[in-house]
Amino acid sequence: MNGLLKFIKAIEPDKKNSPFLHTLFDGFFTFAFAPNAITKQGVHVKDGMDLKRTMVHVVIAMQLCYLFGTYNIGHQHFVALGEYPSFFAGFHLKLSHGLIKLLPLFIVSNVVGLGIEFWYAAKKGHAIEEGFLVSGALIPLIMPADLPLWILAFAVVFAVIIGKEAFGGTGMNIFNIALLARVFVFFAYPTEISGDGSVWVSALDKSAELGTFVSQYGWPHSLLDWLFNGIGLSTFGDGGKAVVDGFSGATPMGIAAKGGWEAVTEVYTTSQMLWGTIPGSIGETSKPLIVIGALFLVAVGIASWRIMLSMVIGLIFTGVLLNGWGATVFMEVPWYYHFYMGSFFFAMAFMATDPVTASSTNTGKWIYGFLIGAIGLIIRVLNPAYPEGWMLAILFMNAFAPTIDYYVVQANINKRLKRVSNAA
């Protein structure tokens, strides 16, 4: 190991002559080796925890979502075509199709995001900060599988530059980076990320002749077909196969908005919705796997259980009120079924708990989470334009988190002032 260390130290680029290369080197070097810095003032020993470790545990927590999400891309594609309807049938096809869709999204999101991060770090002369490790892993999970890569790249550029670097980098941003990327796509290219049809199911193309959706493959599929053929497995084929009759590609929320819970259960069973074998953004469909990630984050003490719990309470509270009102079919969907639909759990586990954009006080976290739960459900149920509310609710509350903190901290200040005036 010492030899390796010496070799790596020997190739270190000069900081003055090539700041970008040096920053890059420093980023990868500190990734491979924990630095040899020692305490100078204050405490002499420090906790083993650092930001890299914090961030990587969030990434670990979403690995199950990655596994399932990748496979589900393929699964939804073939279900739409009426092929391999059972979950594990056509395993190699579903998995490879999922990877063909997911990997480019992941690579583009990280190359673009980290590229900007590195460039800013070099320009400002500080070490590369770890914030984008999590953002870069989250962004692919909250996008539809078919999202054009250039749109994704634009979204990441917007989120990282306007959302983060403009405010001063990791730890300074007001809005959640991953959600900013999504909201950019949502408002700039709405047809790519909302509605029915081919949005949530990948590799489908509208066919003018048939008047319906047909499957459409690219060169990676042909390459794999050649491979699969060689070892005698089933293949993708040339595409052009029409979807099954009655295919809508709609998400449960879209259906519930029109026909209530009964209409949803006609299309998807509750266990399908629970386990996540339904169309949707890549990583947000499987509730148990997200909950495992959430519990992991709570167990290791990285995500705030206060925010998670109060979000659940906020959803129940609003759900009950809406049930009582019951003016539309969507309002009449029993409050507990709202947990089955949409991306509530994903938002709860990975988005709302971002420590930088959430409330920083423990009391504030209760209020913050509760309001996200309440507002998110209001947007989901009452607003016909936005099918899902968590993204907007969290961004909205991101803007209000400093205000909540202000009042919580002010209460502490007032308490202290009152004590003084009492004593005087």
Partner 1 sequence: MLRNEILKVSLVVSFILSSQLVNAQSPDSASSSFSTGLTILVIIFLFAVIITIANRLMKLTAEKVGADKVGASNTVIPTWKEFFGGDTPTRSAEEGQFHVLRQGYDVPLVGDAEQRIDANLQATTFAMKPIDIHGMSPIPKLTVKEGASVKAGDVLFFDKKKPEIQYVAPVSGKLLAVNRGPKRRIDEVVISADKEMQYKAFTAPSLDASQEEIKNFLLESGGWSLLRQRPYNVAADPSETPRDIFISTFDTAPLAPDLSFAIQGREAAFQKGLDVLATLTSGHVYLGLDGRGETPISTAFSEATGVVKNYFKGKHPAGVVGVQIHHTAPIGKDDIVWTIDAQSVATIGTLFLEGKYDATKVVAVTGAELKEAKYVKTYQGASIESFVNNNTTNDHVRYVSGNVLTGTKIESKGFLGLYDSQVTVLAEGDYYEMFGWLVPVKARPSISNTFPHFLYPDKMTADTNTHGEKRAFVVTGQYEKVTPMDIYPQHLLKSILVNDFERMEGLGIYEVVEEDLALCEFVCTSKQDVQAILRQGIDMMIEQG
In contact, 364 and 408? CB cutoff 8 Å: yes
Q: How far is the CB of 416 from partner 1 (least distance, A)?
A: 6
Q: Does 334 engage in binding with partner 1 (CB under 8 A)?
A: yes
Among 10, 11, 43, 231, contact with partner 1 (rule: CB under 8 A) = 43
Q: Does 304 engage in binding with partner 1 (CB under 8 A)?
A: yes
Q: Does 335 engage in binding with partner 1 (CB under 8 A)?
A: yes
Among 12, 20, 28, 53, contact with partner 1 (rule: CB under 8 A) = 53
Pick between residue 45 and residue 385 the one whose CB is nearest to partner 1.
45
Q: Does 316 engage in binding with partner 1 (CB under 8 A)?
A: yes
Convert 199-253 into a string of H (helix), E (strand) and C (coil): CCCCCEEEECCCCEEEECCCHHHHHHHHHHHHCCCCCCCCCCCECCCCCCCCCHH
Instruction: Provide the phi-psi class of 399: left if phi over 0, else alpha when psi is between -120 and 50, else beta.
Output: alpha
Q: How far is the CB of 142 from partner 1 (least distance, A)?
A: 21
In contact, 179 and 134? CB cutoff 8 Å: no
Among 358, 379, 393, 395, contact with partner 1 (rule: CB under 8 A) = 358
- Single out the segment in contact with partner 1 by CB under 8 A; choices: 47-55, 87-95, 144-152, 194-202: 47-55
- Distance between CA atoms of 216 and 213, rounded to whole angstroms? 9
In contact, 184 and 157? CB cutoff 8 Å: no
> Which residues contact residue 20 at a Cβ distance below 8 angstroms, ignoring those fewer than 6 apart?
118, 119, 122
Task: Give the per-residue contact string, 232-271, with partner 1 (x = CB under 8 A; - = no).
Answer: -----------------------------x----------
**Cα 416–chain centre separation:** 41
Q: Does 131 engage in binding with partner 1 (CB under 8 A)?
A: yes
Q: Does 209 engage in binding with partner 1 (CB under 8 A)?
A: no
Q: Does 218 engage in binding with partner 1 (CB under 8 A)?
A: no
How many residues of this chain bind partner 1 (CB under 8 A)?
A: 73
In contact, 113 and 155? CB cutoff 8 Å: no
Q: How far is the CB of 36 from partner 1 (least distance, A)?
A: 5
Pick between residue 51 and residue 227 the one whose CB is nearest to partner 1.
51
- Which tokens go with 410? 């002010």
The residue among 235, 216, 55 whose CA lies nearest residue 129 is: 55
Task: Give the per-residue contact string, 57-86, with partner 1 (x = CB under 8 A; - = no).
Answer: x-----------------------------
Residue corresponding to tokens 């919580």: 408
